Amino acid sequence: MSQMNTKVDEGSFLADLAELIAIPSTKDASQAGEGAPFGPGPLAALEKMLEIGRRDGFRTKMLQGYAGYIEYGPEEAKDYIAVLGHVDVVPATGKWAHNPFTLHEENGTLYARGVIDDKGPTMAAYYALKALKNSGAAIRHRIRLVIGTDEESGCACMKKYNELEPMSLFGFAPDAEFPLIFAEKGQIRAWIKTPKSGSSNASVRLVSFYSGERMNMVPDHAYAILSGADAEKWAVEAQAALSAINVPFTAEKTDQGFKMTVKGKSAHGSEPAGGVNAAFLLASALKKLPLVKEEHAFVTLLSDTLNNDFGGERLGIKYQDDVSGELTVNAGVIRFGDDGGTVSLDIRCPIKASLDDLVQTLTASVRQLGLSIGELGTSKPLYMDPKHPAVQILKKVYEKHTGLKDVKLLTSGGGTYAQYLDAGVAFGACMPDYPYTGHQVDEHVKLDDLLLASEIYADAMAELGNLEG
C-alpha cells in the first residue's frame, strides 16, 4: 500500500463544494442546445469542475458539453484509470428544511441536493486527485476524473464519452456505497401508454393527472383535476377515502374543476418500497369514480396493476437470482391529459435475467390490459469478478482506512457509470453505517464520511495508477 499524505483541507473542500452545489444542475430539455445538450444547469456545473481543475494545474478537456475530464499522470502513458462522477442532480421536490441549493452544515452533517448523489463524492474524488498530484507519487497510468452531466436521465453523456474517448484500463464510480459494488442490475425503462378519452357527457371526468419528475425517483406528489356536473360530489368521496387512511391532501376549486393534491415520500427508484408513491395513493382514491373507459383504464393501471407491486408480479416479470436479488419496478413519471396517459416504469433486473425475455413478457402483459408500450430502452447489468486484481486493490485500500477485515462486497439495484466501462465497479462514497439519502428530501451525508472517502480514493488512485495492464 502507498504511503502519502491524503488529508483534505476541509475549508477549501467545503468552499469548492458549496460553489458546485449552488448550481441547480437539473436537466432541462426545453433549454438544450448545441454545447449544452442537457440544458444550462448541467453545463454550468461541468464548467465549474473544469475551472477548478485548471485552477489547480490539471489537464482538462470539455467534450461537446456532454462530459469533460480532469487528468493527472504521465501524459504520454497509453492507459488511464477512470474515476466517473456526475454533476447533474434530480429535482429538489418536496419541502426542505433549508434551501436545497445552498450547502448547509449542521452538527457535522451536510445537507443539499447532490451532496451524496453525486456532487459531494465527485468533489471528494477531485480532492483525492489533488492529494495524489501534491504527493508526487510515481504512477504508470494517467488518472482521469471523468465528469458526466446526464446520469440521472439516461446517461447519454457516457455514451457520447465512449464515442469520443478510448476505453480506460479500469475505473470506478464514486456514486454508490462502500465497501464496493461488483454487480449492478440491468435496467428496462419503459413508458406505458393509455388511450385518450373520447367525447362524453359523463357526470365526472378526469381532466388531468400529474405525478413525479424523474423515472428513477418515487414520486412524492400527485394531483388530479375532476370536471363535470358531479365532480364536486366525487371529489368529496375521494377525499374521504384519503382521510380514512391518513393521507395528507389538499383540495381546491379551479377554472378546470376540482383539484386534489396528495403527498407521498420520495426515494431512489432502485428501492421503490422505501418511498410512498403519491400516484398510487391518489389513483386508489379515484378508482370508484364512474369515469369513462379510457380514464378508468389509466386509473386502474395505477391503483390495481402497479400499486405497491414493487416486484412486478402482476406484470408477469417477477424474477430473483442468487447474485443480485429481486427485480424491482418503480412508476416514476405519471401524466394524463388530452392526449391520454403515460406511466414510466424503471425496472431493475437481476444479473442473471434475460432482458429480452422480460421485455417480451412486459409487452404482452401490457397488451392484455388493452394498453401499449411506447418508448423503451434497456441497459445491460454490470458484473465484475470479485477476484479481479483491481477489485482486490480497492477492497484492501478500504480495509486499510477503516480498520475492517474481510469486508463483504456488495451488489446493487442502482445503476452507475461503471456499467459503461469494460472493467469497473462502484466504490463509495456512502459509508455502510449511514443511510443513503440520494433523491430524498433533505439529502444529507456526514462531512467526515466525505473526507474519509477522499482519503480512500487518493490511495486507490495511487495503487491503480500502477495496475498491471
Catalytic residue positions, numbered: 88, 151
Three cell numbers written together for 384 = 465484475
Report which of 267, 283, 408 is spatially closest to residue 336, judged by C-alpha positions: 283
Residues linked to residue 173 through DSSP beta bridges, in sequence order: 426
Give the residue among 440, 398, 458, 450 at the shortest CA–CA distance from 120.
Answer: 450
Handedness of CA 322, 326, 327, 332 (dihedral sign): negative
Euclidean distance between CA atoms 306 and 29, whole angstroms: 28
- Provide the Cα torsion 13, 14, 16, 17; round to 10°: 110
Name the residue among 366, 202, 206 with its Cα closest to residue 286. Answer: 206
Chain position carrying cell 412508476: 331
CB-side neighbour CA atoms (13 Å) of 455: 18
d(CA 22, CA 115): 11
356 three-state secondary structure: helix
Cα atoms found within 13 Å of the Cα of residue 120, Cβ hemisphere only = 33
Phi first, then psi, for residue 83 (nearest 5°) are -120, 115
- If you ran DSSP here, which 8-state letter would residue 408 be given? P
Q: Which amino acid is at 13?
A: F
Element of type H or E holding 290: none
